[in-house]
Chain A
């Protein structure tokens, strides 16, 4: 999966506009970054990458890059 496809999956999980995110985007700056987005992110990583990450791992994420780091 290339970077563009991964970004599209993150945008879908976070329910943001297409192209709204870049790797440097700070999650806490996004209106969309809330508990529901975090749940969707866990589900997406589990489904697409077979990784069931913990709540602590989610809370440690600061930027979109930190999400991408789990997508391999």
Chain B
């Protein structure tokens, strides 16, 4: 049963942070050709992105800054936070989970359930569901941190493909148990048989690094390790079929129509996909925020960024807005979740330039 409906859930505040380093798609004209870059911008909608490939700010740094913003703005007593969910595939270490690092950095109590959910573009919608479950199980409040960041690259690195599709952002959402709050409901699905459409196949236990070295030599193994593969055409097809089907099933099960929702905060895959998805599910395009134009596709953090960028630019003079959130991507994994947000507690996006120093040195671990 992939449908759920959980009551008494309040989204108390949402904030986002991006690395303080901006890049424009046009910056890549000399490398990839002016015509190609123009076409890239027209199709994806991406004019610029904020990136951590130079300053090395991590997704957890971004989420940490966003969490400080939410907790400060709400003047929230952090000893009430009974769970922290880090919904991200951009982790600080191979082990332990990043949620434990963030518990320490955010000075949360030791009576706090901390775990990671390493999904991709559905990390946020799955995280909302898990947070609601935690509340139902007795937690007073849950901090949901979702974000993605790119790897810091060596100086002078020259990309072989235009890297502008991916941007970086981190978010924090405070979710509380409140007696008169509304319900969160939705639908989550998975299509594991299509996992090769989006995959990072090497470096895990199935294709470990040293096996690659044996087969291809150290240099090639280093190039392959952690590399991403995407079949863009099949991602497009998935968006137009399975995602469209899911939205239809959501309306059939829960009732209602597009008029019942203030906005659809959708994962920012690319503008071509978003426009075609909007057309197929008959959702008015003006009710689908498109921060992709300014931030690119920020992976795990794209949905909360879409929510806050909308409500900080289009101020709403009321304290509750019923909205839909929708994620789809690697797994394949997809989900649509209805939440109620307070537009006045959707905060403006921060810029972060400082990379956290964990004091880990080679001398300590070798």
A: residues with CB less than 8 A from B are 15, 34-36, 38-40, 42-43, 46-47, 52-55, 58-59
**Contact partners of B237 in chain A: CB under 8 A:** 42, 52-55
Q: Does B279 contact A (CB under 8 A)?
A: yes
**Contact partners of A47 in chain B: CB under 8 A:** 276, 279
Query: Given the interface contacts A52-B237, A55-B231, does A40 sit within 8 Å of B272 by beta carbon?
Result: yes
- A36→B40 contact, CB < 8 A: yes
Closest to B240 in A: A52
B: residues with CB less than 8 A from A are 36, 39-40, 43, 231-234, 236-237, 240-241, 272, 275-276, 279-280
**Contact partners of B36 in chain A: CB under 8 A:** 34
- B43→A58 contact, CB < 8 A: no
Q: A42 to B232: give the CA distance in the assembly, Å.
A: 11
- A46→B43 contact, CB < 8 A: no
Q: A40 to B279: give the CA distance in the assembly, Å.
A: 15
**Contact partners of A42 in chain B: CB under 8 A:** 233, 236-237, 240
**Contact partners of A35 in chain B: CB under 8 A:** 232-233
**Contact partners of A39 in chain B: CB under 8 A:** 43, 232-233, 236, 272
Chain A min CB distance to B45 (Å): 12
A-B contacts, 29 of them at CB < 8 A, read: A34-B36, A35-B232, A35-B233, A36-B39, A39-B43, A39-B233, A39-B236, A39-B272, A40-B43, A40-B272, A42-B236, A42-B240, A43-B236, A43-B240, A46-B240, A46-B276, A46-B280, A47-B276, A47-B279, A52-B240, A52-B241, A54-B233, A54-B237, A55-B232, A55-B233, A55-B234, A55-B237, A58-B233, A59-B233
Q: A36-B43, A52-B241, A55-B231 are in contact. List 8 more A-B contacts (CB 8 A).
A: A40-B43, A42-B233, A43-B240, A46-B280, A47-B276, A47-B279, A55-B237, A59-B233
Closest to B36 in A: A34
**Contact partners of B280 in chain A: CB under 8 A:** 46
Chain B min CB distance to A35 (Å): 6
Chain B min CB distance to A28 (Å): 16
Q: A47 to B233: give the CA distance in the assembly, Å.
A: 16
Kindly list the 10 A-B residue pairs having the minimum CB-CB distance in the complex, ordered from nearest. Answer: A55-B233, A55-B234, A36-B43, A52-B240, A43-B276, A42-B236, A36-B39, A52-B241, A39-B236, A46-B240
**Contact partners of B240 in chain A: CB under 8 A:** 42-43, 46, 52
Q: A37 to B237: give the CA distance in the assembly, Å.
A: 14
- B39→A15 contact, CB < 8 A: yes
**Contact partners of B39 in chain A: CB under 8 A:** 15, 34, 36
Chain A min CB distance to B161 (Å): 9
Chain B min CB distance to A69 (Å): 18
**Contact partners of B234 in chain A: CB under 8 A:** 54-55
Chain B min CB distance to A53 (Å): 7
Chain A min CB distance to B197 (Å): 9
**Contact partners of B233 in chain A: CB under 8 A:** 35, 38-39, 42, 54-55, 58-59
**Contact partners of B40 in chain A: CB under 8 A:** 36
Q: A19 to B241: give the CA distance in the assembly, Å.
A: 32
**Contact partners of A40 in chain B: CB under 8 A:** 43, 272
Q: A47 to B279: give the CA distance in the assembly, Å.
A: 8
**Contact partners of B236 in chain A: CB under 8 A:** 39, 42-43
Q: A58 to B272: give the CA distance in the assembly, Å.
A: 17
Q: A35 to B32: give the CA distance in the assembly, Å.
A: 14
**Contact partners of B272 in chain A: CB under 8 A:** 39-40, 43
**Contact partners of A46 in chain B: CB under 8 A:** 240, 276, 280
**Contact partners of B279 in chain A: CB under 8 A:** 47
Q: A66 to B184: give the CA distance in the assembly, Å.
A: 47
Closest to B40 in A: A36
Closest to B44 in A: A36
**Contact partners of A53 in chain B: CB under 8 A:** 237
Closest to A32 in B: B39
**Contact partners of B241 in chain A: CB under 8 A:** 52
Q: A53 to B232: give the CA distance in the assembly, Å.
A: 13
